[in-house]
């Protein structure tokens, strides 16, 4: 990859090509519980390089606007959230829930306040999550109908943590299939991922990706001893949602990667059921932090085990062979390796091989989308119904193209 394309994929600030693409979609910013009641404490939010403040105003709705007061640039985090807006404690300027200035104490011109308005973004609540849209107001789509956000609260478990890498670095790690059998050895098996105990590969892994109306469908195939082909599938729902491969009888799982700035992202992880609440045993297992979720320091989004303490690596455990890495939890194993690459790693120095087909497909897809959007083409996945997907593995006869399998044809 050349340096120019590396920049296109990784830079998401205002005015960048990737930033413009991502701003066309609703993105999660907070759990609803982080703004627990009207007029509660403001919460700082950084997303796509913009420093913002989120508040729940007196009527219970959510407001999101620039952090700094336009008068003398004091932080509104220290402001008073009261009476349907926030008041800067420096000079008393008051802003309503839309960001409009409604009071400027000490100003002689009574109409002056009408000229002042904070940069603000609409917010909605769905699935125990606060979502925001930062794109052109006349192009605002409806909220995506992602299954985990539509099930009852008792049916899902959500966590989030900061990762100290660029968003795309974390995103493409989600589709690096080959690492599962190496990095996560001792913690996960192909049987766990596919639900097929008799899965006996008779050849190399085939990796393919097909463009769909919601984004991309990825398939990894190995030929079984009876010449049937087993496809393990996962979906990219635009712009950065992943539905993980599913094993029948287990809870479904998903990720969302949201850029904080160009060197940090927020990783959301979700386990959910569609037919029943998660029971106490399931939640207890999730809170052991062996899977995709990671324990965070109380009151923060920072993982307890992080780069400052080498992710809690246990060299004795690593030498024992019980864990290939000696690091507890799939999520932390991913974080350790992805953060070790640097905050924005230099893709011009890598040497990709045939096992990196999904990584290559993901990069080409996003580069294509940013160029097409700049040329006036609408990006995919804006129809909320297109996100109504569920991960499904498939079995087909030999020599059936994945594009056919993806459309549920010729599946045995």
| pLDDT one-digit tens code per residue, 297-343 | 999 999 999 999 999 999 999 999 889 999 999 999 999 999 999 99
Eight-state DSSP code of residue 310: G
The DSSP H or E segment spanning 45 is strand 43-47
Residue 72 has pLDDT above 90, yes or no: yes
With CA atoms as reference, report the closest residue to 93 among 101, 82, 81.
101
Give the residue with greater pLDDT, 252 vs 392.
Answer: 252
Give the residue with greater pLDDT, 66 vs 189.
Answer: 66
* CATH for the 26-139 domain, from 3.40.50.1970, 3.30.420.40, 2.102.10.10, 3.30.70.3190: 2.102.10.10
SS3 207: strand
Q: What fold, for 147-406?
A: Naphthalene 1,2-dioxygenase Alpha Subunit; Chain A, domain 1 (3.90.380)
pLDDT of residue 203: 52
Cα separation, 343 vs 321, in Å, equals 30
- Answer positive or negative: Cα dihedral of 131, 136, 138, 144: negative
Helices (H) and strands (E) in the chain, counts: 10, 19
E-strand spans in 78-205? Answer: 80-81, 85-87, 94-96, 101-103, 120-121, 123-126, 129-133, 156-163
**Taking residues 148-164, what's their average pLDDT?**
98
- Tell me the whole-structure pTM to 2 decimals: 0.93
Residue 158 backbone class (left: φ over 0; alpha: ψ -120 to 50; beta: rest): beta
SS3 44: strand
| pLDDT one-digit tens code per residue, 179-229 | 888 899 886 544 444 443 333 344 567 899 999 999 999 998 877 767 788
The DSSP H or E segment spanning 51 is strand 50-56
Start-to-end C-alpha separation, the chain: 39
The DSSP H or E segment spanning 261 is strand 252-261
The answer to which of 46-60, 79-93, 185-199 has the lowest mean pLDDT is 185-199
Cα separation, 54 vs 63, in Å, equals 6
| pLDDT one-digit tens code per residue, 95-129 | 999 999 999 999 999 999 999 999 999 999 999 99
With CA atoms as reference, report the closest residue to 243 among 214, 206, 213, 266.
214
User: Percent of the chain scored above 70 by pLDDT?
Assistant: 94
Domain boundaries, the chain: 26-139, 147-406
């Amino acid at each position: 990859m050349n340096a120019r394309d590396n920049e296109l994929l990784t830079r998401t600030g205002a005015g960048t090509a990737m930033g413009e693409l991502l701003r066309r979609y609703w993105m999660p910013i907070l759990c609803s519980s982080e703004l627990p009641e009207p007029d509660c404490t403001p919460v700082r939010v950084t997303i796509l390089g913009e420093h913002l403040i989120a508040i729940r105003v007196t009527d219970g709705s959510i407001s999101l606007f620039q952090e700094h007061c336009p008068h003398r640039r004091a932080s509104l985090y220290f402001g008073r959230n009261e009476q349907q807006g926030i008041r800067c404690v420096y000079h008393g300027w008051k802003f309503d829930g839309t960001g409009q200035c409604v009071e400027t104490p000490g100003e002689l011109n009574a109409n002056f306040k009408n000229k002042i308005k904070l940069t603000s973004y609409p917010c909605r609540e769905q699935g125990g999550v606060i979502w925001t849209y930062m794109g052109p107001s006349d192009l605002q789509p409806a909220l995506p109908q992602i299954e985990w956000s539509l099930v009852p609260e008792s049916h899902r478990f959500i966590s989030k943590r900061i990762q100290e890498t660029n968003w795309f670095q974390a995103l493409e790690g989600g589709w690096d299939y080959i690492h599962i059998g190496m990095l996560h050895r001792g913690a996960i098996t192909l049987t766990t991922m596919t639900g097929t105990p008799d899965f006996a590969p008779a050849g190399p892994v085939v990796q393919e990706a097909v463009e769909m109306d919601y984004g991309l469908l990825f398939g990894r195939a190995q030929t079984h001893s009876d010449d049937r082909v087993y496809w393990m599938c996962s979906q990219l729902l635009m712009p950065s949602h992943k539905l993980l491969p599913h094993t029948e009888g287990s809870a479904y799982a998903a990720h969302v990667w949201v850029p904080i700035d160009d060197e940090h992202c927020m990783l959301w992880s979700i386990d959910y059921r569609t037919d029943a609440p998660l029971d106490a045993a399931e939640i207890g297992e999730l809170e052991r932090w062996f899977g995709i979720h990671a324990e965070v320091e109380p009151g923060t989004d920072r993982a307890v085990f992080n780069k400052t303490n080498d992710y809690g690596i246990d060299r004795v455990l690593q030498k024992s062979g019980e864990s290939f890495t000696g690091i507890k939890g799939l999520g932390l194993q991913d974080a350790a390796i992805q953060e070790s690459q640097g905050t924005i790693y230099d893709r011009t120095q890598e040497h990709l091989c045939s096992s990196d087909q999904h990584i290559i497909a993901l990069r080409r897809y996003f580069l294509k989308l940013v160029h097409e959007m700049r040329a006036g083409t609408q990006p995919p996945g804006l129809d909320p119904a297109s996100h109504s997907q569920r991960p499904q593995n498939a079995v087909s006869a030999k020599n059936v193209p994945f594009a056919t399998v993806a459309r549920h044809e010729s599946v045995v």
